[in-house]
Structure 1
Amino acid sequence: MDLQLSDLEGIWLIQRKIDDRRAGHVLHFAGQAQFRPDGIGLHYFETGQLHLPDGTKLRAERSYLWRRQAGRIVVLFPDGRSFHDFTPDRAEACHLCAADEYRVRYDFSGWPEWRAEWAVRGPAKDYAMVSHYRRPGDA
């Protein structure tokens, strides 16, 4: 799929599983994301509840900027710092944050449903995170 940013516009429901191997816990997140045009690309904002193993529920949110540049999709932190980038046909990327390595693989093969699979490893981190995205009303 030759993913265009406009394909992502709108609201998505998210189901996320976080397997924290270091802590020995599995956490779940349920919420929604919205991709809104911001004049340059898209502003991604997600909000929802993070369900901890002890039953505690926490409000969680995050925000990124998505851009299309030279055939690549570039994902930035809200302050404009680079996070990662990928080509739609090989949707994999790596981000180094100090000693921690964040690897992501986006899977658009089931479009309009898609997912992001993260593997995060470092001195203090060892987790896998899989996020499933679908449009509201889709089965």
Structure 2
Amino acid sequence: MTRQLSDFIGLWTISRHIDDRRVASGMGAARLVGTCDFTVCAEGLMQDEQGLLSVPGVDTPFEAARRYMWRADAALISVFFDDGRYFHSFDPNQAHPEADHDCTPDRYEVRYDFSEWPIWRARWRVTGPRKDYVSVTTYRKSA
């Protein structure tokens, strides 16, 4: 199957598990449940994620949000922070494309999984002096 930028347009439900390896074992992983909306913008697609984040040891979940811009670059999709800075690029036609981003002193490594499209996943491994976690998000197209 050939995927292109326009295949991501629309509303997706998301479920994210965050395993922070700095937290003592037995505390459990943080969870985010929410939505991801890809809307058309002048540069490509705007990705808006919103959800409720539940953190071990915190009684009340809190709202979390993030925003990126996706742009078609030849056969790749390039992802930018909402302020226009480059983040990473990937080939949406690979089953498991990988990319990384150095944000000194931290390193972000992503592996996408499109093998069950239109269900897909993004697995982030983040390391640095104060960061050591794995975040896995599952995206499911809303009806």
Normalised by the shorter chain, which TM-score bucket? over 0.9
Q: How does 1:41-120 map to 2 (within 5 A)?
A: 41-54=44-57, 55-88=59-92, 89=94, 91-120=97-126
Q: How far has the Cα of 1:56 moved from its partner?
A: 2.5
Tell me the matched-pair count: 137
Q: Deviations over 1:28-76 (max 9, x none)?
A: 0000010000022100001010001123211000000000112111000
Aligned partner of 1:68: which letter? A
Q: How far has the Cα of 1:131 moved from its partner?
A: 0.1
Aligned partner of 1:6: which letter? S
Distance in 1 (alpha carbons) for counterparts of 2:43 and 2:83 = 14
Q: Which residue of 2 aligns with 1:5?
A: 5
Give RMSD over aligned pairs: 1.2
Structure 2 counterpart of 1:28, from 16, 31, 42: 31
Aligned partner of 2:43: which letter? I
Consecutive unaligned residues in structure 2, runs of 5 or more:
none
Consecutive unaligned residues in structure 1, runs of 5 or more:
none
Structure 1: which 4+ aligned runs deviate by more than 6 Å?
none
- The percentage of counterpart residues that share the same residue type is 48
Q: Taking structure 1 as the reference length, what is the TM-score of the superposition?
A: 0.94
